[in-house]
Amino acid sequence: MSDSQRSIVTAWDVVKPTRDQFENLGAVARGIGMLVRSRFRDRLTIATLIEAHAAHRPQHPALAFEGREWTYAEFNAAANRLARVLAAAGIGADDVLALLVDNRPETLMLVAAAAKLGAAAAMCNTKQRGDVLAHSLATVKPSAIVVDTELASAFAEVRGDARLTGLSRVWQLPQGRGDAAIDGATDMTAAAAGESGGNLDASVEVASTATCFYIFTSGTTGLPKASRMSHRRWLRGGAGLGLLGLRLTAEDRLYCALPLYHNNALTVSWASVLCAGATFCLARKFSVSRFWDDIRASRATVFSYIGELCRYLLAADDGTGDRDHRVRAVIGNGLRPDIWDDFKARFGIERICEFYGASEGNLVFVNGFNMDRTAGFCPLPFAVVAYDADTEQPVIDDNGRMREVGRGEVGLLLNKVTDFAPFEGYTDDAAGEKKLHRGVFKAGDCYFDTGDLVRRQGMRHIAFVDRLGDTFRWKGENVATTQVENAVNAFGGVAESVVYGVEIPGADGRAGMVAITPEGDPERFDWSGLAAHLHAELPAYAVPVFARFKPEADVTGTLKYRKVDLKKDGYAPASGDTVYMLTPGRDAYRPLDMATREQLNAGELSL
């Protein structure tokens, strides 16, 4: 067993014969074939793929949810009925349909319905509220929205926002009897019931380069950006991750408890399933206590994860059902080296298909050779370059060029932008341009800045190390520090604030921490009021766990906040300054006592 990251990957690691290298080679061949077809077939889309499965294998199960299954024929017909409702309302090519809907079958059916018309589904983060949600919607300019009635209050907060005047049509999806109706909304389920389930002519006219959906990512301005996903990139993700990485066959059943507004669910999981013609087993949400029961009930052979999910499962009490399942492989990202071996051994998982990729990124790395403690391999051009730890920027030499780090060293990952791997960007072109470096190694080249530190392991493999810049990851979500700072600064008594992420033993990602410069007497600061304010303004995952006072914020020569030293201090500053903590279930930040600090240091406190 090892809790350290793999430093290097050798040629022998790649070519040494193992039993699993020769399993499901047919899937590998199909994956290569689909990647080739995606390059030359300009009408290969989500819609045509679903319709092909419905035509050739109509009775094969496509979707399972809470004890019910839909065959490919049934799923395709349901999507067609929804598409006709959208078309009758004027939704067509290049339009945007916003989806404020939690995990349920209709979410996927609506994505497919929009795809059949050449429209794009905007996958709203259902945890967002108020100005953040309104901003997200405004970035994609939707002409219509479908709202889950359980999220009616979230929609009510933004419905009258001046930025959403183009939102002309509202549909609702009731969860059950007794749900409160949304004023002026049409029941989508009822409207679709009388429509034809036959294929639409429009689906075969949609280009593979068209946008199929938008995923909202954390922005450096503190507000989300809408990253664009084309049909071509989505299908390449499914082929590379599902067929080449997981080696899925039609007989596999992939269980997904991740939210569908995340690419881990919508692209990594669902695209993998559709490329293989397999079965997608969707859960409403993740539950530690029900997880393995759901796995058995759904007869899953594969499941998708984020690192936090794996840690939660491993932290649960040992049970007799830990190995009572059919799971042969898992796919996801963020499985940390310190629990990799224990997770694999305890649950009897043969293949861990860790991957690395960003919603807006143009490359994906995947652990296709089934090695331990690596984010995997990518055959396309990339570079891992030296960076300055203080400025968190690439190191530039006297000639204006960057330099790559050596094998085994840590650097900033840059993905080369090419015709085969273009950068599709955001709806905000200026924000997209800021992510690109030009003239990196020679005049005319172009690279996408991932903002991530990785270890260059060799043999075109990397391992994720940390996130740079103005975001950090917590509870499976990217937290934009500027968004949190804006919320903190809006609270009375705060002159300014600096937000950053700090490491906690035994936890994935970084917990939020804020250093506050108070306007008045620190002894009179309202810690209870701050907690209530932040809970009202921010998603739960973005509310800082820790807080401290800083009479004056340290800044760099370019007047940027110096967060490096604050991160090093963490929740136990060498200065002995009091740190305040907001524990789950509490209504105020309270001083962090020694007993709690020792629990944190020992990894014994669940956050």
Question: What is the three-state SS of 547-596?
Answer: EEECCCCCECCCCCECCHHHHHHCCCCCCCCCEEECCCCCCCCEECCHHH
Cα 124 to the chain's mean position, in Å? Answer: 12
Please tell me which residue, 606 or 255, carries the higher pLDDT value: 255
Where would I find the beta strands (DSSP E) of 198-301?
A: 211-217, 225-230, 253-256, 279-282
**DSSP notation for 298-356:** TT-SEEEEEHHHHHHHHHSPP-TTTT-S---EEEEE---HHHHHHHHHHHT-SEEEEEE
Say what percent of the chain tops pLDDT 70. Answer: 95
pLDDT > 80? residue 152:
yes
- By mean pLDDT, which of 49-58, 493-502, 522-531 is the weakest? 493-502
Distances, alpha carbon 350 to alpha carbons 248, 336, 340, 342, 524, in Å: 14, 17, 12, 12, 56
pLDDT range class, residue 557, cuts 50, 70, 90: very low
The mean pLDDT of 586-591, rounded to a whole number, is: 91
User: Alpha helices of 166-263 — where are they, by DSSP H?
Assistant: 188-193, 231-237, 263
For domain 380-463, give the CATH number.
Answer: 2.30.38.10
Q: Per-residue pLDDT tens for 393-437?
A: 899 999 999 999 999 999 999 999 999 999 998 888 888 899 999
Neighbours of 436 (CB within 10 A): 15
Q: Which pTM does this prediction carry?
A: 0.85
Q: Per-residue pLDDT tens for 342-367?
A: 999 999 999 999 999 988 889 999 99
Q: Per-residue pLDDT tens for 472-504?
A: 889 888 887 878 888 898 899 998 888 999 999
pLDDT > 80? residue 552:
no
Query: What is the reported pLDDT for 556?
Result: 44
Q: What is the DSSP letter of 20?
A: G
CA distance 148 to 185: 11
pLDDT range class, residue 220, cuts 50, 70, 90: very low
Query: What is the reported pLDDT for 381?
Result: 96
CA distance 99 to 121: 7
The mean pLDDT of 151-175, rounded to a whole number, is: 93
Dihedrals φ, ψ of 245, to 5°? -85, -65
Supply the mean pLDDT for the chain: 91
Residue 325 token pair: 């399942």
Query: What is the reported pLDDT for 426?
Result: 87
Residue 142 token pair: 């939707």
Dihedrals φ, ψ of 169, to 5°? -135, 135
pLDDT > 80? residue 241:
yes
H-helix or E-strand spanning residue 486: helix 481-489
The mean pLDDT of 112-127, rounded to a whole number, is: 97
Q: Which residues contact 388 (CB under 8 A, 6 or more apart)?
A: 394, 395
Query: What is the reported pLDDT for 366?
Result: 95
Q: What residues form DSSP beta bridges with 279?
A: 253
pLDDT range class, residue 382, cuts 50, 70, 90: very high
Q: Write out the CATH class of domain 471-601.
A: alpha beta
The mean pLDDT of 293-300, rounded to a whole number, is: 97
Cα dihedral across residues 403, 409, 412, 417: positive or negative: positive
Q: What residues form DSSP beta bridges with 343?
A: none
Q: Which residues contact 224 (CB under 8 A, 6 or more apart)?
A: 125, 128, 132, 135, 136, 139, 216, 217, 218, 480
Distances, alpha carbon 538 to alpha carbons 132, 160, 305, 486, 497, in Å: 8, 20, 25, 10, 16
For domain 11-366, give the CATH number.
Answer: 3.40.50.12780
pLDDT range class, residue 567, cuts 50, 70, 90: confident
The mean pLDDT of 152-172, rounded to a whole number, is: 93
pLDDT > 90? residue 605:
no
CA distance 605 to 565: 25
Q: Name the residue ranges covered by the structural domains of the chain.
A: 11-366, 380-463, 471-601
H-helix or E-strand spanning residue 11: helix 11-15
Place of tokens 């009479």: 551
User: Alpha helices of 214-269 — where are they, by DSSP H?
Assistant: 231-237, 263
